[in-house]
Amino acid sequence: MGAFDAWAGFGVTFRTMFRKTFTQGYPEKGKEKVTAPRFHGRHQLNRWPDGLEKCVGCELCAWACPADAIYVEGADNTDVERYSPGERYGRVYQINYLRCILCGLCIEACPTRALTMTNDFKLADVTREKMIYTKDRLLAPLLPGMEQPPHPRRLGADEKDYFLGLPSTGQPDNRTPSVGDDREAGR
């Protein structure tokens, strides 16, 4: 039995040795790698339907990160400058992808669903500085109908309507940014 097991192992090795992988000729040739729907890729800071940021600067994501890859510095909103609908917003938001292990504990800790993970897996870059993603690179692109913050809250007559995400139509906002929007925005 022992000799047969060894030859069976060699058979598996020889079958997989000459199999083509998706990385051969990448990125010039071949199709893009399709990831699983729940793949943990690059992070994204989401927005409310009027363009305000969902991040309230609570720093729970930074506390939950086992690799200490997230740095958040919160600040207070004012009536003149409002970046999120709450009292506070994330003034500084950084993720160090040299440390990040893409575990997803940060998105589980986020109480406002401000932080999610996309399917973007191309995170390599040429310098260490470019691997630290700042808030401008992490923010979701503005969709049609959104306004660049700072501005007052635009949705609903009261806070309940606003936080349910109901625009004047009364229907939930189901818009999602396309991959082309993110690349055209220079992110």
Does 58 belong to an annotated binding site?
yes
Cβ(146)–Cβ(49) below 8 Å: yes
87 is in an annotated binding site: no
Residue 95 lies in a domain: yes
Q: Is 100 inside any structural domain? A: yes
Rounded Cα distance between 165 and 131, Å, is: 33
88 annotated as ligand-binding? no
Q: Establish whether 106 is an annotated binding residue.
A: yes
Residue 141: CATH number of its domain? 3.30.70.3270
| 10 is a domain residue | no
Residue 151 lies in a domain: yes
Q: Are the CB atoms for 22 and 30 separated by under 8 Å?
A: yes
Position 176 scores a pLDDT of 65
Summarize pLDDT for 129-183 with one digit per residue, the tens: 999 999 999 999 998 888 999 988 877 667 776 766 555 555 555 666 655 444 4
* 86: containing domain: 32-160
Q: What is the pTM of this model?
A: 0.71
The reply to whether 17 falls in a domain is: no
Which segments in the chain show pLDDT lower than 50?
Answer: 180-187
Q: Per the structure block, which two tokens stand in for 66?
A: 């086992």
Q: Judge whether 103 is annotated as a binding position.
A: yes
- Residue 26: the pLDDT is 62
Q: Is residue 144 annotated as involved in ligand binding? A: no
Q: How many independent structural domains does the chain possess?
A: 1
Give the DSSP letter of residue 139: B
User: Does 179 fall in a domain?
Assistant: no
Q: Using CA atoms, how far apart are residues 4 and 7, in angstroms rounded to an integer?
A: 5
Residue 18 is assigned to a structural domain of this protein: no
To the question of whether residue 100 is assigned a binding role by annotation, the answer is: yes
User: Binding residue per annotation — 55?
Assistant: yes
Q: Is residue 51 part of a domain?
A: yes
